[in-house]
Chains A and B, each alone.
Chain A
Amino acid sequence: MTASVAAHSASPTKVTTLASPSGVEAWHVESDVVPLIAVAFTFEGGSAHDPEGKPGVAQMLARLLDEGAGDFDSDTFQEHLAARAIELSFNAGNDAIGGSLKTLVKHADEAFDLLRLALVEPRFDQDAIERVRAQTIAGLRYQQNDPGVMATRRFFEEGFAGHPYSRSTSGTLESVASITRDDLVAMHRAIITRGRIKIAVVGAINAERLSAQLDKVFGALPEAKPLTIIEPAVLGNLGSRFVVDLDVPQSVIRFGMQGIAWRDPSFIPAYVLNHILGGGAFTSRLFQEVREKRGLAYSVGTSLVSYRSAAMTWGYTATKNERVGEALQVIADEMARLRQDGPSDEELQKAKDYLIGSYALGFDTSTKIAHTLVQIAFEGLGVDYIGHRNGLVGAVTQADIRAAADRVLGDGRMLTVIAGRPTGL
């Protein structure tokens, strides 16, 4: 961000949009204060597009992009990164494959070159594939009886049964074992393309130089072809409760209901509602009732999740096996109270004050800014979103909250998954 940003300007940072000569677009924040450049990018298309019966391809693809490219085998590629302290990483989610690059300004040319190689010319050497496969399988085994991971897996299996979102991004022991080089090459060709990309660049690089780098790195990508359409999904099994039996003294609980997508005009009221119910501050209703008053759990909260083809609100907590019933009752009571009475005027105002005031806190490092911008671009919200977002929060009324509560909390039924050995349910 630039030092010239006024203390009370509506927008927490000054973003310009940039198009390179060949038409690659990026959102750009120029700042020379720290001699580094942070890049975030995301390609539309992810684990939801894993081939039938082979969950885990997108994630394995993401892990293989920096394991050898162009003339460099994996070890040589990693050595080029390490020798200049260039940080490059890729990840896969349901709807996108993304990544980030961080480099000192003095190594920018080399860093962008390596990024281009990773995206455009990954090698998928068989030894690298086998190594990443073994690492992925070890990771799956390591988490196999983790109550949090177990509960989350089951939650998605039950909540999105029959839909690609029901599958784990990491795949299964069986599916990861079956992934072939052809699967990886095909998915690379389908997703890592020009038409699918959003890019944000923050740091000590001017528009002219950035423009040239964008052409060099992303200009070489092939054009996009249409991907399989992921059908819209609605969280199912509301009103059902599932127990994953695990011999541990504490049960992990996941609970879910409907959500409102970020792209939906009613998203902001739902976001404020979520903050009141179980948002990140120590003041939320669930934090107060579950943790502060009763000591039922260390962590408790809810968050609003937007996928391309689904939206949900989901919550988390963990309590000793003997108190699971009590915790679920307290959570259900709070949701019922919020649904019936809504928040008080003061509660609503405090929530809006927090969400407005804290927005700038997400813009204090180059990496955070780049990631926030690329998410906004991915959601199609427009570059002016960060400037008017606080206005949208400020405008939320009690009526908006009630309407959001009707959609999100509905009739109060939830999908509940418990991993552990709960007693007295």
Chain B
Amino acid sequence: MDAATKPFLRADAASQGRTEGGGPEVSSFTLDNGLDVVVIPDHRVPVVTHMIWYRNGSADDPIGQSGIAHFLEHLMFKGTEKHPAGEFSKVVSGLGGQENAFTSFDYTAYFQRVAREHLETMMAFEADRMTNLLLEESVIGPERDVVLEERRMRVETDPSSQLSEAMAAALFVHHPYGIPIIGWMHEIETLNRDHALDYYRRFYTPENAILVVAGDVTPDEVRRLAEDTYGRIEARGERPVRFRPRDPEPVAARHITVADPKVEQPTLQRLYLVPSCCSAKNRDCYALELLAEVIGGGPTSYLYRKLVLERGLAVNAGAWYMSSAMEETRFCVYAVPAEGVSLEALEVAVDEVLKNISDEALDFEAIERAKTRLVAETIYSTDSQSALARIYGSALAIGETIEDVKRWPSEIEAVLKDDLASVTERYLTLRRSVTGYLKKSAS
């Protein structure tokens, strides 16, 4: 499962590399039933990555059924009329393949990595479970227990995850991005077979899916195989509608504390509500991406230099921006206090430093360095067929185009110093923010 990135002690969280125009020859087409197909050739090894993406994620969970997208993702491994529970996994494994699935706010995806000659088999199984899922009552209870254990592992035993959940719930006052992908404990406990099937019938359709194949294949070959498998699924007529409420313009600076006796190292986080790559106007998303890198991308960033190197108030500090989202999203600034520094004092220092971004952080070298790093990420990503499949699949699943992905490096290059100052002034303001403290409680 894709959970929100935990920023502690890492300076490079959440920035997503993409490929540049000179990268792989990506092609795309649409089958008669509406299924979109993307092909990314990589002929270095005789291996393919086969992914199917659905344009629905946790933010499409019906009210009161948080976690249903993720629960259904688990249940998708429970068999169809043709292939009983476990058979698909056995076949993948017997062919020497690897498989998994993940759920995010805006999409759900399933993938297998196999030798190229097994692509058709993967397509046949994946197409089968797009419409023929069986869901016997006997599998529901144990699998719900698995998800409850997953939540206990990720959240219930970890105060820092609890802070992340509480901060998101405060940042998004109305939008479902404020609800955890895995769902709230008390709602997961009530999810049943009917919920899962209703959700499945609504979203698992050819019009709502994107097939991405990366690896040792040609577009013609993929088209032929896809038509023989996915192509036989009947069209539903139109893509399901996602209803997403918009958050109101924020006015309140919010402060959140999670205090737990298990916390031995306090941390400070700040989230700002900002435009995403889909919701931004005036190319603000590129400026925000570059801003996060300039002020918070690693040990040469502005925040690290000011708070860690110069003032010694923090042992680590940084920032990240979650650009990939359909609606307004999060920009995070974080710092880990040095010994003897209170969270309150650290917050004051963070605000002083942030206030001076326009004057102190945006020198030419710093901007060039950040651009170089972001653009290099896109070249590094071309080394991995599965990374490329994820980049294109996630982009299309939230409504971006292949051209958007290809244009990304040149858009980053084109960001000006004034753009950075402008997004700082407009978005990094307290009224758009939630500040979170993780600290120790007495008992």
Residues of chain A at the chain B interface (Cβ within 8 Å): 1-3, 5, 7-8, 12-13, 31, 33-36, 38, 74-75, 78-79, 82-85, 87, 102, 104, 131, 134-135, 137-139, 141-142, 144-147, 246-250, 252, 280-283, 288, 291-299, 318-320, 350, 353-361, 363-367, 420
| Contact, CB under 8 Å: A145 / B316 | no
Partner of A36, one of B89, B150, B380: B380
Partner of B95, one of A141, A144, A353, A366: A353
Q: A85-B375, A298-B146 are in contact. List 20 more A-B contacts (CB 8 A).
A: A2-B44, A34-B379, A36-B379, A36-B383, A102-B380, A138-B336, A139-B9, A142-B8, A142-B9, A142-B336, A145-B262, A250-B152, A250-B153, A280-B98, A295-B146, A318-B152, A319-B149, A353-B94, A354-B96, A355-B96
Partner of A249, one of B114, B157, B267, B298: B157
Mask of B309-337 contacts with A, CB within 8 angstroms, 1/0: 10000011000000000000000000010
A363 to B297, CA, bound (A): 29
| Contact, CB under 8 Å: A141 / B265 | yes
| Contact, CB under 8 Å: A364 / B47 | yes
| Contact, CB under 8 Å: B9 / A79 | no
A281-B89, A297-B146 known; A364+B386 contact, CB < 8 A: yes
> Is B403 close to A, CB under 8 A?
no
Mask of B14-52 contacts with A, CB within 8 angstroms, 1/0: 000000000000000000000000000011111100000
Residues of B within 8 A of A31 (CB): 44
Instruction: Output the least CB separation between A185 and chain B (Å).
Output: 23
Give 10 pairs: A residue, B residue, CB < 8 Å, sorted on A: A5-B44, A34-B382, A35-B379, A82-B372, A104-B379, A146-B158, A250-B157, A283-B86, A354-B96, A357-B115
Instruction: Output the least CB separation between A397 and chain B (Å).
Output: 19
> Is B376 close to A, CB under 8 A?
yes
Stretch among B137-145, B271-279, B349-357, B406-414 lining the A interface: B137-145
Residues of A within 8 A of B298 (CB): 78, 82
| Contact, CB under 8 Å: B372 / A84 | yes
Partner of A295, one of B43, B97, B143, B372: B143
Residues of A within 8 A of B114 (CB): 357
| Contact, CB under 8 Å: B44 / A1 | yes
Residues of A within 8 A of B145 (CB): 294-296
> Is B192 close to A, CB under 8 A?
no
A82-B300, A364-B384 known; A358+B98 contact, CB < 8 A: yes
Q: Say whether chain A's binding surface is mostly helix, strand, loop, or mixed.
A: mixed
A142 to B161, CA, bound (A): 13
Instruction: Output the least CB separation between A81 and chain B (Å).
Output: 8
Mask of B371-406 contacts with A, CB within 8 angstroms, 1/0: 011011101101111110000000000000000000
> Is B99 close to A, CB under 8 A?
yes
| Contact, CB under 8 Å: A3 / B44 | yes
| Contact, CB under 8 Å: A131 / B152 | no
A82-B373, A85-B372, A365-B384 known; A138+B44 contact, CB < 8 A: no
| Contact, CB under 8 Å: A360 / B380 | no
> Is B299 close to A, CB under 8 A?
yes
Partner of B97, one of A147, A318, A358: A358
Mask of B48-77 contacts with A, CB within 8 angstroms, 1/0: 000000000000000000000000000001
| Contact, CB under 8 Å: A33 / B157 | no
| Contact, CB under 8 Å: B383 / A367 | yes
Residues of A within 8 A of B9 (CB): 135, 138-139, 142
Partner of B94, one of A36, A83, A354: A354
Partner of A366, one of B267, B365, B373, B383: B383
| Contact, CB under 8 Å: A33 / B113 | no
| Contact, CB under 8 Å: B384 / A134 | no
Residues of A within 8 A of B379 (CB): 34-36, 104
Residues of B within 8 A of A358 (CB): 96-98
| Contact, CB under 8 Å: A85 / B152 | no
> Is B225 close to A, CB under 8 A?
no
Mask of B133-172 contacts with A, CB within 8 angstroms, 1/0: 0000000011111111110110011101000000000000
Residues of A within 8 A of B43 (CB): 3
> Is B369 close to A, CB under 8 A?
yes
Partner of A361, one of B42, B47, B368, B380: B47
A138-B9, A248-B157, A356-B96 known; A144+B141 contact, CB < 8 A: no
Partner of B265, one of A84, A138, A357: A138
Which single residue of chain B is at the shortest CB-CB distance from A287? Answer: B89
| Contact, CB under 8 Å: A250 / B149 | yes
> Is B338 close to A, CB under 8 A?
yes
Which single residue of chain B is at the shortest CB-CB distance from A280? Answer: B98
A134-B315, A138-B315, A357-B115 known; A364+B45 contact, CB < 8 A: yes
Residues of A within 8 A of B150 (CB): 298
**Interface core residue of A141, A145, A298, A353 (most chain B CB under 10 Å):** A298
Residues of A within 8 A of B216 (CB): 7
A3-B44, A282-B77 known; A293+B142 contact, CB < 8 A: yes
| Contact, CB under 8 Å: A282 / B93 | yes
Instruction: Output the least CB separation between B321 and chain A (Å).
Output: 18
Instruction: Output the least CB separation between B22 and chain A (Å).
Output: 10
Residues from 245 to 278 in B contacting A, C-beta threshold 8 Å = 261-265, 267
A353-B95, A354-B93 known; A7+B116 contact, CB < 8 A: yes
| Contact, CB under 8 Å: B369 / A247 | no
A291 to B143, CA, bound (A): 8
Residues of A within 8 A of B300 (CB): 75, 78-79, 82
Which single residue of chain B is at the shortest CB-CB distance from A127? Answer: B309
| Contact, CB under 8 Å: B316 / A138 | yes
A34-B382, A359-B96, A361-B113 known; A320+B372 contact, CB < 8 A: no
Residues of A within 8 A of B377 (CB): 85
A3-B43, A249-B156, A249-B157 known; A365+B142 contact, CB < 8 A: no
A318 to B46, CA, bound (A): 37
A331 to B429, CA, bound (A): 53
A75-B305, A85-B373 known; A350+B45 contact, CB < 8 A: no
Residues of A within 8 A of B316 (CB): 135, 138
| Contact, CB under 8 Å: B156 / A248 | yes
> Is B339 close to A, CB under 8 A?
yes
Residues of A within 8 A of B116 (CB): 7
| Contact, CB under 8 Å: B115 / A85 | no
| Contact, CB under 8 Å: B93 / A350 | yes
A84 to B379, CA, bound (A): 13
Residues of B within 8 A of A137 (CB): 339
> Is B308 close to A, CB under 8 A?
yes
Which single residue of chain A is at the shortest CB-CB distance from B375? Answer: A85
Partner of A292, one of B97, B142, B160, B264: B142
Instruction: Output the least CB separation between A31 and chain B (Å).
Output: 7
| Contact, CB under 8 Å: A360 / B47 | yes
Residues of A within 8 A of B338 (CB): 134
A420 to B369, CA, bound (A): 46
Instruction: Output the least CB separation between B283 and chain A (Å).
Output: 23
A246-B262, A282-B89 known; A298+B96 contact, CB < 8 A: no
